[in-house]
């Protein structure tokens, strides 16, 4: 069983940066595609960014492309989301998720993911 714990959220101003971390425990995630999603009250959880098992492929939602960067350190069993030029519309609860099998590519659908963290809150103040 994989446990995922996100950290790094907080209250920031427009244009600021944050780096979210997702630390996995229970088993290695080095063979697993990983992703970040976000959700605001009353809305569906949405894909933000995904990364392949070895970091060779990444993908982003159009709304964050060019501002957010997903990366991973398999030795540290950790995935990151660097968020720059933050906007009020980036305010959300951010979740880390793992696909529990070795497979190529990245996944944009939440249904593809097998485990989720509890989320970390990002608030961008205007």
Give the pLDDT confidence score for residue 29 in this predicted structure: 94
Up-side HSE of residue 3: CA atoms within 13 Å toward CB? 3
Q: How far apart are CA 88 and CA 66, in angstroms?
A: 16
* CB neighbour burial string for 45-60, b if at least 16 within 10 angstroms, e if fewer: bebbbbbbbeeeeebb
**Contact between residue 68 and residue 58 where contact means Cβ atoms under 8 Å apart:** no
Q: How much is the mean pLDDT over the chain?
A: 96
pLDDT tens string 21-38? 999 999 999 999 999 999
Which pLDDT belongs to residue 126? 84
> Which residues, including other chains, have CB under 8 Å from residue 11's CB and lie 6 or more apart?
123, 125
């Amino acid at each position: 069983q994989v446990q995922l714990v996100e950290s790094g959220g907080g209250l920031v101003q427009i244009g600021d940066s944050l780096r979210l971390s997702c630390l996995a425990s229970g088993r290695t995630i080095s063979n697993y595609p990983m992703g970040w999603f976000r959700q605001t009250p009353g809305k569906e959880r949405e894909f933000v960014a995904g990364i392949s098992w070895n970091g060779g492929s990444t993908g982003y939602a159009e709304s964050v492309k060019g501002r957010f960067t997903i990366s991973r350190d398999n030795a540290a069993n950790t995935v990151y989301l660097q968020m720059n030029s933050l906007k009020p519309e980036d305010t959300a609860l951010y979740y880390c998720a793992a696909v529990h099998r070795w497979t190529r590519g990245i996944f944009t659908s939440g249904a593809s993911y097998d485990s989720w963290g509890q989320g970390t809150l990002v608030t961008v103040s205007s």
